[in-house]
Amino acid sequence: MAEAIWSVGKVAKRCGIKVSTLHFYEQQGLIQSWRNAGNQRRYKPEVLRRISVIKAAQKVGVSLEEIKRAFESLPYNRTPTVEDWQQLSKNWQQMLDGRIAYLQKLRSNLAGCIGCGCLSMTSCPLYNPDDKLAESGSGPVLLDQAEQKARAQQEPSASS
């Protein structure tokens, strides 16, 4: 039986995405196509499953870079099987649990800060006199440290 060949338009319509999204996924190395004699992109039917995994993972907050790493971990960069999906989703669930813990802690800290109304620069934990936090790095240093701490606390429970 001949292998089905899907056009860009057919894949985009079937997956509910724009053609430009397909091109972007291909540029990012998430999917593959080949060119026919008329220099038009063609896809194997397995691309539908890969795109479904991408969309499902993105809906729960998994980045394209994390999805790409997961795909690269599969033998021969194959389309995920049911068993592969179980492992990928388990790994992503652990990552998301860490993010949720971090966001809950962040929410609590922000609510307390906003809720007190003190506006005191002498007792506020976010205050940074003389930019001493610059020694620790650039960007939101305290938030980054809190995220790292939340991830470290999450790791022991993720391995059990």
* Whole-angstrom distance, CA of residue 45 vs CA of residue 151: 38
Domain ranges of the chain: 1-62, 81-159
Each residue's pLDDT tens digit, 78-97? 788 888 888 888 888 888 88
| Residue 8 near residue 47 (C-beta atoms within 8 A) | no
More confident residue, 113 or 101: 101
pLDDT at position 1, please?
Answer: 40
* Whole-angstrom distance, CA of residue 146 vs CA of residue 97: 15
Q: Give every strand in the sheet of 6-7, ordered side by side.
A: 6-7, 41-43, 34-35
pLDDT at position 113, please?
Answer: 58
Strands (E), 3-160: 6-7, 34-35, 41-43
Each residue's pLDDT tens digit, 6-52? 999 999 999 999 999 999 999 999 999 999 889 999 999 989 999 99
Other CB atoms within 10 A of residue 25 CB = 22
* Whole-angstrom distance, CA of residue 125 vs CA of residue 119: 11
Each residue's pLDDT tens digit, 120-137? 555 566 666 677 777 887
Helix (H, G, I), strand (E, B) or coil at 125: coil
Between the alpha carbon of residue 43 and those of residues 7, 26, 50, 59, 119, the distances in Å are 6, 11, 11, 24, 58
Each residue's pLDDT tens digit, 54-72? 999 999 889 999 999 988 8
Q: Selecting from 1.10.40.30, 3.30.300.30, 2.30.30.90, 1.10.1660.10, what CATH number does the domain 1-62 have?
A: 1.10.1660.10
More confident residue, 117 or 93: 93
* Whole-angstrom distance, CA of residue 70 vs CA of residue 88: 7
pLDDT at position 117, please?
Answer: 53
pTM: 0.64
More confident residue, 5 or 137: 5
